[in-house]
A = this chain, B = another copy of it.
Amino acid sequence: MTAPTFVTGSGIMLGYIRSGTARTRTELVAQLGWSRVTVGKRLDELMDARLIVASGQRDSTGGRRAEIFELNKDAGFLLTADIGGSHSRVGVSDLAANVLVEAEVDIDIATGLDRVLTWAHEVYGHLLDSLGIGVSDIVGIGVGVPGPVDPATGRLVNPPIMPGWDGVLVADYFHERYPDAVVAVDRDVNIMALGEQRQAWPEHQTFALVKLGLGVGSALILDGQAAHGAIGAAGDLGHIRHGGEEICRCGSRGCLEATASGWAIRRELKKLGYSVNTSRDIVALAHDGNQDTLRLLADMCTQVGHSIADLVGLFNPGVVVIGGNLANLGDLILNPIRAAVVERVPSYLIDQLVIAPGKLGGRAGVFGAAILAQDAVCDPDRVSLATRG
């Protein structure tokens, strides 16, 4: 059977509570269209399973105050990983996706995905010890990887910067080590976008994020879910040929990432004799007012802005969030990007468009990975099946 036997599944209701669509009995009855008795019963089931708790009361509208329910943040813990091309972060969060502890490290993904995963697993051990949490308390794991993930199978798809890892099922690594946890994997930029959109821009259904670090990545969110495309490569602004003859780390020639990105700026600065390694070095130079860096950044912003204009014209998002380390430069890069976008997008689109810095900074990925894990743990069918008598 593909559909659950019980049509008024508690998992469906948990979705309403979790998203804030309906938080009180009366609201749930109105939104779900179920009877008051059934809603009460399902609430009892979710509370018995410790998945929700009563968290307060609505202000009175002239009568008894309605009780507000929310996801029980203490119903288990989530592991999160934001594996980037040159930098990775991991964290442990409660079920409400509040990240409790984090750790980060500079590892080049080119040294091998297995080494990054091993590092992550070791760090999880330390973090769990420090929190006094056991492996069996981990109910979900969310992982972001720097390459496309097939939406159907969860396997890596020809990852441009992880050659040799095509077809790998990252979830297996964690399933073996955390047997009680649900594992969800998605592209790193998708996870950042998921974090920003759910946390900071929930009112926007159509959302885009552009990540400017050493690389250039982007992601599209539609109705609260990342767009994956046919093979999980949707949203990849960085590896479209843009011009020039520079060879990109993905193997192609003239990608946006090869001509206008942190990589490109680092390459040019090195030619000029500067010692630059990470995107944070570029940020530091720009903060110092280094003219070469500022000039290269301005050029990058124009080119990136033009690509964002393509994205806006094609996808018509309500917001484009600029994230990644270079976004720490604030208006220094936002203003020229905005100018380049305005230059190329019809005015009727611009009026409705917000271009803004990320509100979560470097933590967007770890946070989004927690949301991804939470989504997996709170899967309606899973919950409905688990909570019935």
Name the segment of A52-60, A71-79, A224-232, A293-301 touching the other chain.
A224-232
Q: How far is the CB of A253 from chain B (nearest CB, A)?
A: 9
Q: How far is the CB of A90 from chain B (nearest CB, A)?
A: 28
Residues of chain B within 8 A (CB-CB) of A190 are none
A240 in complex: contacting residue of B227, B230, B344, CB < 8 Å: B344
Q: Tell me, yes or no, whether A330 is within 8 Å of chain B by CB.
A: no
Q: How far does the alpha carbon of A227 sit from the alpha carbon of B318 in the complex, in Å?
A: 13
Is the CB–CB distance between B33 and A229 below 8 Å?
A: no
Is the CB–CB distance between B314 and A237 below 8 Å?
A: yes
Residues of chain B within 8 A (CB-CB) of A157 are 348
Number of copies of this protein chain within its complex? 2
Residues of chain B within 8 A (CB-CB) of A233 are 313, 316, 348-349
Q: Tell me, yes or no, whether A222 is within 8 Å of chain B by CB.
A: yes
Name the segment of A4-12, A121-129, A276-284 touching the other chain.
A4-12
Per the 8 Å Cβ criterion, residues 294-349 of A in contact with B are 307, 309-318, 343-349
Q: How far does the alpha carbon of A313 sit from the alpha carbon of B236 in the complex, in Å?
A: 6
Q: How far is the CB of A249 from chain B (nearest CB, A)?
A: 11
Instruction: Using CB atoms, name the residue of chain B closest to A344.
Output: B241
Residues of A within 8 A of B (CB): 1-5, 7-8, 30-34, 157-158, 160, 204-206, 218, 220, 222, 227-237, 239-242, 250-252, 255, 307, 309-318, 343-349, 352-353
User: Which 9 pairs across A and B sit closest by C-beta, in order of nearness?
Assistant: A229-B316, A3-B33, A241-B344, A240-B313, A230-B318, A158-B348, A234-B316, A7-B7, A233-B316
